Amino acid sequence: MSAIKPVEWTVIGGFAPYLQAVRAMEERVEAIRFGTAPEQVWLLEHPPLYTGGTSAKDEDLLRPRFPVFKTGRGGQYTYHGPGQRVAYVMLDLNHRGRDVRSFVKDLEEWLIRALARLGVQGERRSGRVGIWVAADDGREDKIAAIGVRLTHWVSYHGISLNVSPDLSHYSGIVPCGIAQEGLGVTSLAALGIGATFAETDLVLKKAFVEIFGPVTEARSRRSGAA
């Protein structure tokens, strides 16, 4: 880890248009691949939309209320929107170990440690990607999603954490293909945690450093300037 250079940590203000963000991310990934730009994490927020990953099923698109985008990340349908912190993670696994399972496990651990700093016990579940919160009545709700893709062992797309989104917006899809009774989605706000984006970003950064190594603060940008 000592040989790894600090990752640029960038907060992008405003609502980032999805396709524009993906194009910018793909350009950055190419630059990382060829060594002309350092690794980077973008923290941003999207307007309301649904994305379908490589495993998305048509029947899981129930009543789409917002634009739908097919994307190259892994996983099925998910929602992005106001009140949800998205982190696009562009890391070069050529220098971090070419192990996809280990990388996803590290992303999970990152979220678990960040949530713990906010007083939330996030947990893994076998066969279910993402981070879950168990209720006293046996219900389990997803609070964070993970969907990544690798190109030449450079990662992109990443994670999303529900801070205070409108959870009714998930009703247009079967989130991540999971429709079992007793499973749903939740957020920090729904759990009574009144964390701001700034507070959430801080715990995400601290936990990221523990798992992936040092970061350097890049200049915060407005959407469209990524």
Catalytic residue numbers read: 176
Report CA 176 to chain centroid distance, whole Å: 13
DSSP class per residue in 81-102: -TTEEEEEEE-BTTTT-S-HHH
Query: What is the distance between the alpha carbons of residues 20 and 82, in angstroms, rounded to a whole number?
Result: 17
List of E strands, the chain: 7-15, 40-45, 49-52, 68-70, 77-80, 84-90, 123-125, 128-134, 140-151, 154-162, 183-185, 215-217, 221-222
Angle at 174 between CA 42 and CA 189, to 5 degrees: 55
Residue type, 38: P
